[in-house]
Structure 1
Amino acid sequence: MVHPVPEIEVTADLARTLLREQHPDLADLPLTWAGTGWDNALWRVGEHLAARFPVRAVSAPLVVHEQRWLPVLAPLLPVDVPTPVRVGVPSSTYPWAWSVVPWFDAVAAHHTPVAGRSAWAPALADVFAALHRPAPDDAPVNPYRGVPVAPREQPLRERLDRLGLPEADRVLERWRDLAAAPAWDGPAVWLHGDPHPANLLVHDGVLRAVIDFGDVTSGDPASDLSTAWLTFDADGRAAFRERLATDDATWRRAQAWALHMAVVLQMHPVDHPTLAEIGRHGIAQALAD
């Protein structure tokens, strides 16, 4: 259970070279490393921009999805999203597409107290109300989001076995009960795909932006709504659900997804302690409801 090794290290020299080759007007702005995650390296460019570079071949298509679809989705949403303002293309220097996106003056929600997030729970509900509209047939396909949750039992069991969680039996029993909810029978709607609190940005107690749309896809909205347990406490969740007026079956599937995703987030506690903590919170919240 280790962090995948980046196939390419995006250094300051490489980032500046790519900017100079393809966007020379940005090449002399200050560059500040803002982190390297599972899929991408992020370099802040000046005060208002950031350059986002895939570090593994498997993550390269995710940037292309954002480049293709965020310009379509952004006008629909009531908060900011990182719509690319410049597009980088593969070259002899670097093999994949990359983007220059806005830099948002905000902090990721997982750095804020859970109780304080209730204030913007209705605003996040408004984001999903705007986003979850029927998607076109050529929307990106993601086999791990928006799909029926019930067939996920085997991978869930395997992860629980590997983690050795003391509450594993309770998680599996509760998940089975929730996953038996009636299946989604509506149209495939647009989904963010990964709206956990590390991808929600907050400024002055207000939801400022939703980022990282690499997993954008379509399907059952329940997988997106799992964030109600990953992000909020009971009060925030109540405000979130009241604003959405979600039906019981979708809410139960969302809770099943919350348990599933909370387990996934704990799979790499050393390399991703923040995600592991989000996962622990999600399990505690989903078992308490």
Structure 2
Amino acid sequence: MTLPERTLRPPADVLINEALVRDLLRAQFPQLAGLALEFADNGWDNVSYRLGSDLAVRLPRRESAHALLLNEVRWLPFLAPRLPLPIPAARHRGKPGEGYPYHWAVVPWLPGNSAATVSAEVRDGYCASLAAFFGALHVPAPADAPRNPVRGVPLKNRDDAVRGRIQGMQEPERSRLLSIWDRGLAAVEHTGPRLWLHGDPHPHNVLASGGALSAVIDFGDMTAGDPASDLAVAWLHFTSRGRAEFMERLAGDALYSPGIWVRARAWAVNYAVLMSGLPPDDALHTVGVHGIEQLLAED
């Protein structure tokens, strides 16, 4: 398989280190400032530090991520009681200060490890749990739910960007993936209400322990719209066996409009091609390669 050119994570526009996090805690939540602090992750949008044994500090690393964190802070406490798995609903809401320009949050430290670090065969073991999570999440959202230009929208809105990424690949993968994408474009568009979506529920945003799901994290892309963009991750998480059970568990949901799995497969092309272009040492690179293999194996 020939992969597209590597895609680098966007650069940070603010320096975040342990000293800054300590200063923010002392200034705004002094009752937490004495807890142990340990760097946890430098993600696409946020930097995370573990705080004590059961909390984490989550700070946007670039301006465009700031609004995403504000969505999480507002909406996750509303969604959390309705979901069958823990999510990082904010315990404390931080404000700009100490030279740091963005809002930030103290959230629960959720147990488990990134599911991107285990094999797809292991991930098959939680397909029913992930289906149940989506079944609980994908319900009609209020009119003021966040809007996201790259998640939950009609596939035609993403056509230029996705087609451009696929064109960067070589044959025969390029033609086969374009065919899957075109079938999604031709499918019936989502009808009915805008449903709540996680927005980016790939394996690195799911925590697992002992082969079971323990939490779903990173709701920065949360939005409402066509659930096909969430369900696409069936090709990223699972093998054909797990994916079949995942689909069966969600079969018959009246809120899932006709053509949803054709659209979902096209969305999977979008995610898989993007992730496969990340550097090989990125956890999502392997997830993207797996997704492309799964998509082509079905075609």
TM-score bracket for the superposition, by shorter chain length:
over 0.9
> Which runs of structure 2 are paired with 1:106-185 in the superposition (5 Å)?
106-164=112-170, 167-185=173-191
Q: Which of the residues 83, 96, 102 maps onto 2:102?
A: 96
Q: Which of the residues 61, 67, 78 maps onto 1:55?
A: 61
Q: Bigger shift: 38-47 or 246-255?
A: 246-255
Per-residue deviation, 1:3: 2.5
Structure 1 CA distance for aligned equivalents of residues 172 and 58 of structure 2: 38
Structure 1 segments, 4+ long, off by >4 Å, are 163-166
Q: Bigger shift: 115-124 or 72-81?
A: 115-124
Closer, same or farther in 2 for the Cα pair 1:282/1:69, shift >3 Å?
Answer: same
2:295 is matched with which residue? 286
Per-residue deviation, 1:92: 4.5
1:222 is matched with which residue? 228
Per-residue deviation, 1:163: 4.7
Q: Which of the residues 11, 14, 22 maps onto 1:16?
A: 22
Q: Secondary structure at the match of 1:137?
A: coil
Structure 1 CA distance for aligned equivalents of residues 242 and 8 of structure 2: 33
Q: Secondary structure at the match of 1:52?
A: strand
1:35 aligns with 2:41: yes
Structure 2 CA distance for aligned equivalents of residues 30 and 115 of structure 1: 36
Closer, same or farther in 2 for the Cα pair 1:152/1:197, shift >3 Å?
Answer: same
1:258 is matched with which residue? 268
Q: Secondary structure at the match of 1:65?
A: helix
Per-residue deviation, 1:205: 1.8
Q: Bigger shift: 177-186 or 38-47?
A: 177-186
Q: Bigger shift: 78-87 or 258-267?
A: 258-267
Structure 2 CA distance for aligned equivalents of residues 127 and 165 of structure 1: 37
1:73 aligns with 2:79: yes
Structure 1 CA distance for aligned equivalents of residues 204 and 222 of structure 2: 16
Q: Is the 8 A contact 1:18 1:93 kept in 2?
A: no
Per-residue deviation, 1:203: 1.3
Q: Is the 8 A contact 1:159 1:267 kept in 2?
A: no
Size of the alignment, in residue pairs? 288
Structure 1 CA distance for aligned equivalents of residues 276 and 169 of structure 2: 8
Per-residue deviation, 1:261: 1.3
Structure 2 CA distance for aligned equivalents of residues 124 and 2 of structure 1: 29
Q: Secondary structure at the match of 2:247?
A: helix
Closer, same or farther in 2 for the Cα pair 1:70/1:158, shift >3 Å?
Answer: same
Q: TM-score, normalised by structure 2?
A: 0.92
Structure 1 CA distance for aligned equivalents of residues 74 and 261 of structure 2: 30
Q: Bigger shift: 255-264 or 2-11?
A: 2-11
2:10 is matched with which residue? 4
Q: Secondary structure at the match of 2:168?
A: helix
State, as a whole percentage, how many aligned pairs show the same letter: 46
Q: Bigger shift: 66-75 or 167-176?
A: 167-176
